[in-house]
Amino acid sequence: MAFSLNGSLSRHMRTHSGDCPYACTTCGMAFSVNGALKVHMRTHSGDRPYACATCGMAFSVNGTLTVHMRTHSGDRPYACTTCGMAFSESGNLTKHMRTHSGDRPYACATCGRVFSENGSLTKHMRTHSGDRPYACTTCGMAFSQSSSLTRHMRTHSGDRPYPCTTCGKAFSENGNLTKHRRNVHGLDHE
C-alpha cells in the first residue's frame, strides 16, 4: 500500500501495531487516530451535530445519519446474492450471510460455544461472569440482558402491549399471548 503523506503512513502503521496514542480524558478509552477520539468525546458531551432534515433526529456521527436516512427513503442497497434479501446496512448483510454459510466466528473462550454474532457472544459471556449490567430503577433487580429488564419493567408499569385479536385480553409478554391463543382459542398464530 502506498501513501502520499508521511502522517497517513504513520496512521496506517498503527492499525498493525495496535498503538492507540489518543486517550479519552474522561473514561480512558484509547484510539489510534485523533478523529476517532473526537467522535468518541461526543458520547460524553452529548453533542449530536448531524440532524435528520426529515424527522429531526440527531446523531453524533455523519455515517449514522446516512444509514438513518434510509429508514425514510426505504433504500436497501446491500442485497444477499443467495436469497435476494436486502438491507440498509452492510453489517446486517454480513450477519445475514452467516445464515447461509453457517459461519460462527465468535467462540467463547470459557466453554467453546460458538456464535454467528459478536453481540450473542457478549450476552453468553455473562452466563459465566454473572454480570448483570441492566438494573431496575424501581426495585434494583438486575438482569444480564436489556430485554429482560424491559419485560421486568412491565411488572411495575402494568403495561400489557400484546393484545389478543380474538378476545381482547392483553399480555405483558408475546409468548404468553401465543400460549393463550393456542390454549384458549385453538389458534397457532395470527
Average pLDDT over residues 39-60: 92
Domain ranges of the chain: 6-45, 50-101, 106-157, 160-190
**What is the per-residue pLDDT for 32?**
83
pLDDT for the residue 18 = 72
Lowest-confidence pick of 4-8, 51-55, 112-116: 4-8
Domain 160-190 has CATH 3.30.160: yes
* Calpha distance 9→36 (Å, rounded): 17
Asked if CATH classification 3.30.160.60 holds for the domain at 106-157, the reply, yes or no, is: yes
Indicate whether 189 pLDDT > 90. Answer: no
Of all residues in the chain, the percent with pLDDT exceeding 70 is: 93
- For residue 98, pLDDT beyond 80: yes
CB contact at 8 A, 80 and 89? no
DSSP state of 87: E
Does residue 14 register a pLDDT over 80? no
Please state the φ and ψ torsions of residue 157, each to the nearest 5 degrees.
-85, -25
* CA atoms within a 13 Å half-sphere pointing along the CA-CB vector of 138: 8
CATH code: domain 50-101 is: 3.30.160.60
Confidence of residue 16 (pLDDT cuts 50, 70, 90): confident
CATH 3.40.50.1000 fits 6-45, yes or no: no
| Contact status, residue 186 vs residue 168, Cβ threshold 8 Å | no
Cell of 89: 446496512
pLDDT of res. 31: 87
* Local confidence band at 1 (pLDDT 50, 70, 90 cut-offs): low
Same fold, 50-101 and 106-157: yes
Query: Whole-model pTM above 0.85?
Result: no
